[in-house]
Every structure is written in structure tokens, then in C-alpha cells.
Amino acid sequence: MSYKSEERDISESEFQEEYELRKYEYLKRERIRVSNSVYRCTYCIGKRYYHPKELPQHASNLDRGSQRRTRGEQARHRALERFVRRYLCVEDSSEPSTTTESPAVCDRDKERLFVWPWMGVVANIPTQVKDGRRVGESGSKLRHELATKGFDPVTVHPLWSCFGHSGLAVVEFKNGWDGFNNAIMFEKDFDLNHCGKKDYVTILERDRGQRLYGWIARDDDYKANGLLGEHLRKNGDLKTVCGKEAEDQRKDAKLLCNLTSTLKEKYDHLREMEIRYEETTQSLIKVMDQKDSMVKSYNEEIRKMQQIAHHHFAKISLEHEKATQQLLAKREELVQCEKKLQQREVQIENERSKLLLEKKMVTHFGFLKAVNFQLCWEFCKMTEIDRSKPDIKEFYINIHLSAYKSTSKLVQHQSRYNVCDVLADISILEGKDQSYSFEHL
């Protein structure tokens, strides 16, 4: 069991070493630099960004991290740490720092005047006569040759005169200290090949051959007569290394002062913006609170108004229902009164008819009485009956009573007849009495 576990550990360690080596080779091709001061971890989720000094610490922490990290993650971060330790520090040391540093030159050269922007001189360029003028290599070809040697020239200007190509060319380098370094290396390269300015001056023209000579432009070249001095004076100025350092320091100090002032202004502006933000936030919170209070008050007022309106409508509905019931009761009462009035009207009409009938009957009774009396009187007169006799008197009385009885009988039964029937009976009776009276007259 121990042998198998040891063999398994050896195979796992070999696998991790091989895996780490593959990831290390992968990092050589992967771009982990975002900017000069920001790097990223390609193995973490989200690819977080780190400062150059933080990235090795991050890789080391994850390599020696907790047991939750898989062996693959640890191997990847070991490869990252190895890559950072080997390449990142070298790259950072080669990068220009924020403070301008001049290259290492001897004290004698520090006080020597150079042409700035940094320029170099190439002499003894091969020329030939063509159409009565001298012609030579173009500046672009010479620039390409110098660039392949790593001098990184900006431009190359061949110097031409009225007779054609002069065999001289001015090489311009970058304005910074990188350009100065390239110009110094340019001069040293020619010096190593014994093609410097000293060699160019001491060797006779016929002994120079086809070799190119080169050097960095200095004050003597700047002040020289001819095409070279004229071109240098027209396109450059004289500066020492110390003067350029002092100028750069002044510029850096001025830039630092400006940046500090700008930073202070930005900070003050930021503080002002923060204060305004806080004020605006507080004002907004206050306005929102007022708005919430107003909305709450408005909703409360609406609720009260709705409640009042509901009570009012309920009250109106109750009063309407009550009034409706009262009207119905009043209507029923009026209907009953109408019925009573109709009954009273019928009763009054009956009473009026009864009174009228009684009045007519009384009148008729007097008429019958007079007629009967007249008839009796006439009858006694015609028959010459003594009215003083008791039997005549009795006859008279019977006739009179018969008339009275007939009238009383009619009065007793008046409730059985209506007005029209009673009047008809009276008319019939009056007719009978009149006919009887006329027959007996």
C-alpha cells in the first residue's frame, strides 16, 4: 500500500510539474499587462487587476492557500509566480520611471554641448555623377539600415547642395533620453569600427573607401561652416547634459506643481461635489419626505371625504326611503279619506233625497188633506147630507184618515225606495188623487 501511494504521489507531482510548465509557457504568449502600472491574473474568475507589486503576492498566496484550492489552481498560480519573478521585474526595471533620469555619461560629456533635438551625422556616403549631378542613397534606405541595428532613428535627412548629394546626412533621434541613448550607441558603434569622427578627420579622403562614418552632433558641428552647420543651426539648438537634466527637472517640478495644483483643485472640486451631493441628497430626502407626507395627507383627506360622502348618501337614502314611506302612508290616508268622502257624499245625497222626499210628502199630505176635505165637503153638499150628523162626520173622518194612512205608509217605506221610485209613486198618487178629484167634481 505504501509503495502504491508513493508511486501515485510521484505521478501526481510529475503531472503537476508538467502542468505548471505548460501554463508557464502559456503565460509567455498571454498578455497579462493592461497598462504600465496594472496587471491582471488570467486564472482568477473575473480576471482581477493588480499592481505590479501585488501580483506576485497574489500568486504566492493562492499557491500556499487553503485546502479549498485545487491542485490545478495551485499549479497555475505557481507558474504565474514563476513568470512574474523572472520577467515582470526585468520589464519593470527597463520601463522609464515617472522621474526623468539621464543616461550614464562621463563627467566630461555632461558639460559638453550637444545639438538638441539629438542628432547624428553620417559622412562618406557613396555618391556618383548622373546627368551632371551627384546622387546617392536615399534617406529612407539609410534609416532602415540604422533601425535594423537598433538605433531607432526618427528621420534621416541627406544634405544636398547645388552640385547634388554632398555625401553627408543628418540623423534625427527622439527628443527624450531614449533618443540620447540611441545617439550615443550610434556613435559608439561607429567608433568601435574605427569609423568615428576622429577617424573621419584624420584619414585622408582617398583612404576612406566606401565605409560610412558617423558620430553624434556637437557644438563644433553646430558652429561649422557649410551645409552641415547650416542645417544644424536651422533645426536644432545647443544643450549640455546637465542643462538638459536641469531643464527636465524644472519641467518635472513644474509638471509636478501643476499636477499637484490640478490634483488639489480636483480634490477641492471633488469635496465641493461631495458636499453638493450630500446637500442635494438631504434636500431630495426632505422633498421625498414632504411628498410622502403630502400624499399621506391627501389620501387621508380623500378617505375622509369619501367617508363623509358615504354617510351623506346613506343619510339621503334613508331620508328618501322614509319620505317615500310617509308619502305612501299619506297616499293611503288620502285614499281612505276619499272613500269616506265618497261614502259621506252618498250619505249626504241620500239624506238630501230623503229630506226632499219628506218635503214633497209633507206638501202632498197637505194637498191631499185639502183635496179630501174639499171632496168630502162637496160630496156632502151635493147629497145634501147634514154634516153635523155623527155618521157624516165619521165618514169624513174615515176619508181623511185613509188619505193620511196612505201618506204615512209611504213615509214608513221610504227607505226601501230610491228617490226616483218615491217621486214616481208620489206622482202616481197625485195623479190618482187629481183624477179622483176631477171625477167627483
Domain ranges of the chain: 12-94, 108-235, 346-440
Please report how the helices 390-412 and 419-440 are oriented relative to each other, as an axis angle in degrees rounded to 10.
160
User: Nearest 5°: phi and psi at 120?
Assistant: -120, 160
| pLDDT the model gives residue 236 | 86
C-alpha cell recorded at residue 118: 539629438
For the domain spanning 108-235, the CATH number is: 3.30.70.2890
Give the position of cell 183635496.
Answer: 371
Is the sign of the CA dihedral 63, 64, 65, 69 positive or negative? positive
How far is residue 163's CA from residue 131's CA, in Å, rounded to a whole number? 11
Predicted confidence at residue 370, as pLDDT, reads 67
Report the chain (441 residues): mean pLDDT per 10 consecutive residues. Answer: 44 64 66 54 62 67 58 74 65 40 52 85 85 79 85 87 85 87 87 85 81 89 87 87 85 87 90 92 93 94 93 92 92 91 90 86 69 62 55 55 51 45 49 44 36
pLDDT of residue 296: 93
β-pairing, 213-216 vs 237-240, is: unpaired
Which pLDDT does position 326 carry in this prediction?
92
Residue 202 C-alpha cell reads as: 584624420
Residue 50 main-chain phi, psi, to 5 deg: -135, 155
pLDDT computed for residue 160 by the predictor? 84
Q: How many CB atoms lie within 10 A of CB 239?
A: 18
Say what the pLDDT of residue 274 is: 92
pLDDT value for 99: 40
Nearest to residue 109, comparing CAs of 219, 271, 247, 234? 219
Longest C-alpha distance within the chain, in Å?
225
The predicted pLDDT at position 414 comes to 44
